[in-house]
Amino acid sequence: MPTTRATTEDRSAVRTLLRLWPYVRPVRARLFTAAFVAIVASCTGLVIPLVLKWMVDGPVADRDPAGVWLGALYLFLLGIAEAVLFGIRRLLVARPLSHVEAEMRAGLYRRLQRLPVSFHDRWASGQLLSRGTTDLMLLRMFLAFPLTFLLVNGVTIFVGVVIMLMQDWVLGLVILGPAVPVMWTCVVFERRYAEVARRAQDQVGDLTTVVEESVLGIRIIKGFGRHRSQARAFRELSGTLRGTELRKARLLATIWGVIVTLPEVAIGAALVLGALRVADGQLSAGTLVAFLSTALALRWPVDSIGFLLAMSQEAATATERYFEVMDEEPESTGVVTEQRAGTEKVRGLRFENVRFRYPDAPPDSAPLLDRIDLHVRPGESMALVGATGSGKTTLTALIPRLHELTSGHITLDGVDIAAMPREELRAKVAVAFEEPTLFSASVGENVLMGAADGAGEADLDRALAVAQAEFAHALPQGTATQVGEQGLSLSGGQRQRLALARAVVGRPDFLVLDDPLSALDVHTEAAVEAALRHVLADTTALIVAHRPSTVLLADRVALLSGGRIAAVGTHQELLRTNAEYAHLMSGEEGEPGEERDRGDHR
């Protein structure tokens, strides 16, 4: 879970929400038009009390039925006009705001694809999912309703107060009496509600993470009978979220109680005082009716302030959460623009004085990889061997720049990988990870992700043959069969073979294989190895290996120990000359001389 959750102490909701302007700008004309239409509709409603005054002081007082019917017609037409205008406002905002939401969601997805692996290592997936779903829904609702009606209701209240003061300034001052305590309550509420709203949205992200992990890990949960403990963890998080939502409800109830009660008391006081003044002849009955009708017409704009502010605060925290991701630095495109002076252009794959420390590691900690020097010649296959936790997977991840070097250089055919655009680099280097990841797509689509655009059935069939994955043709719809989420409808060995097929389908110049045969049975492994030898003959490869059978695929072997390359040679040479390598290949538990692993190096 990230540690970047924002505090709300010094946060300005208005300044935060202004960050939405670039997304709103393309549809601003329709939004401004909708706001104008809503203001006209709301002010149309304020004409109704003036018609009532005319009716009471005119036709009603004069006992003129025709005038009463005419007044009723005016009221009917004003009501129809108000309803139609509000309907037009809704039509104006529906389509553009759905477009804004879609653009923001697409922008978030694009940014997630460009963010480095270290970002995804830090952030829980549920937090990212909640930002792309719940938070963006809150923003669309804010743009559709509170944003408009905070303006509309503000204008309506101002116009209504002016009308009431023009009717009778004494009663107008009575109505304005609660204004100061109501505004003070709103300021206090805004600050407190912002904090609780942020906490609730973060807790929704935590709960989403638990649900996602429980679904993806359902086999583990069932296999170990951990459904009760998972349910308990879910109940605890759900209970915490419930408590936070109840606190939000209490805050909203408090402000709503103040906003509703004080104006109602003022209206009651105005009614009593106005009735006395009508009885004394100081005020006409029509004026009192118009005044009270205007005050009652303002009840909704005033009463709505509470939940409009609440929705605005939730939108502000959603905006913060959205831009926490959007403000993260994406992967760099490379800063080296020319070959370093005095550097020999060596073909193949070369590591030069490479050091690496994870970005979140303590600054004074020893680097995981330190002064790595290694040269894989063109067309050569190099096996990378080392104890668990020695950093083999991390070293291979540096080649396609899934992680950035702390210092040093990696070159491909003499070109520094930092000088290559990532797209070009990853077109040259194909990777098959130890943990194969498949997507909710067809077998063919999963495999052809590793090929350039335009690859066809021939490339797919060749890759499946190399990986001994012809089982795909026997699936219900052949290579068009959907493999399901994470490919869990297939066995571990089948997923690994499809991942290997994906790595070789594009005929890459450089191939990185992270223990690609670990989930295969002996017979399948032998068949895959035989096919792989033909592929490896035409490419430069670095292969993480744990078993002698995999090591034998390589021309030479590099031993990674203590964060450095301790030895390089053929398999037989290292067996004769290096005790640690011989021990690793023996498959015995522990390490020579009880040497311990330096820790979890991922």
How distant is the alpha carbon of residue 400 from its chain centre? 24
Contact indicator for 415, 349 with CB cutoff of 8 Å: no
Query: Are 117 and 253 members of one domain?
Result: yes
Residue 342: the pLDDT is 44
Tens-digit pLDDT profile for residues 44-88: 888 888 887 788 777 777 777 887 888 788 888 888 988 888 888
Residue 556's CATH number: 3.40.50.300
Percent of the chain whose predicted confidence (pLDDT) is above 70: 90
Residue 50's CATH number: 1.20.1560.10
Query: Are 273 and 417 members of one domain?
Result: no
295-300: average pLDDT = 83
Domain assignment present for residue 2? The answer is no
Query: Are 272 and 163 members of one domain?
Result: yes
Domain assignment present for residue 334? The answer is no
More confident residue, 437 or 354: 354
Query: Are 212 and 246 members of one domain?
Result: yes
How distant is the alpha carbon of residue 331 from its chain centre? 17
H or E segment to which residue 576 belongs:
helix 571-577
Mean pLDDT of the chain: 81
357-382: average pLDDT = 85
More confident residue, 41 or 342: 41
Q: Is the pLDDT assigned to residue 504 strictly greater than 50?
A: yes
Residue 559: the pLDDT is 92
Q: pLDDT grade, residue 6 (50/70/90)?
A: very low
Query: Are 139 and 286 members of one domain?
Result: yes
Query: Are 393 and 259 members of one domain?
Result: no
Residue 379: the pLDDT is 86
Domain assignment present for residue 335? The answer is no
Query: Are 312 and 368 members of one domain?
Result: no
Query: Are 480 and 368 members of one domain?
Result: yes
How distant is the alpha carbon of residue 427 from its chain centre? 27
Residue 323: the pLDDT is 92
**Number of independent structural domains in the chain:** 2
CA distance linking residue 423 with residue 331, whole number of Å: 11
Query: Are 283 and 357 members of one domain?
Result: no
CA distance linking residue 266 with residue 205, whole number of Å: 44
Query: Are 506 and 359 members of one domain?
Result: yes
Task: For residue 143, give the nearest of 102, 197, 182, 107 by alpha carbon.
Answer: 102
Query: Are 315 and 440 members of one domain?
Result: no
Query: Are 234 and 187 members of one domain?
Result: yes
Q: Which range among 56-65, 100-109, 293-302 has the greatest average pLDDT? A: 100-109
DSSP string, 81-140: HHHHHHHHHHHHHHHHHHHHHHHHHHHHHHHHHHS-HHHHHHS-HHHHHHHHTHHHHHHH
Structure tokens at 291: 């005044």
Contact indicator for 505, 479 with CB cutoff of 8 Å: no
Residue type, 80: I
Quote the Cα angle for 253-255-258, to 5°.
105
330-359: average pLDDT = 70
Q: pLDDT grade, residue 587 (50/70/90)?
A: low
Domain assignment present for residue 277? The answer is yes
Residue 598: the pLDDT is 36
Phi, psi at 9, each rounded to 5°: -65, -45
State the residue range of the domain holding 112. 16-326
Q: Is the pLDDT assigned to residue 443 strictly greater than 60?
A: yes
- Please give the model's pTM, rounded to 2 decimal places: 0.73
Domain assignment present for residue 10? The answer is no
CA distance linking residue 103 with residue 316, whole number of Å: 18
526-539: average pLDDT = 76
CA distance linking residue 165 with residue 178, whole number of Å: 15
Residue 487: the pLDDT is 67
Domain assignment present for residue 332? The answer is no
CA distance linking residue 352 with residue 337, whole number of Å: 18
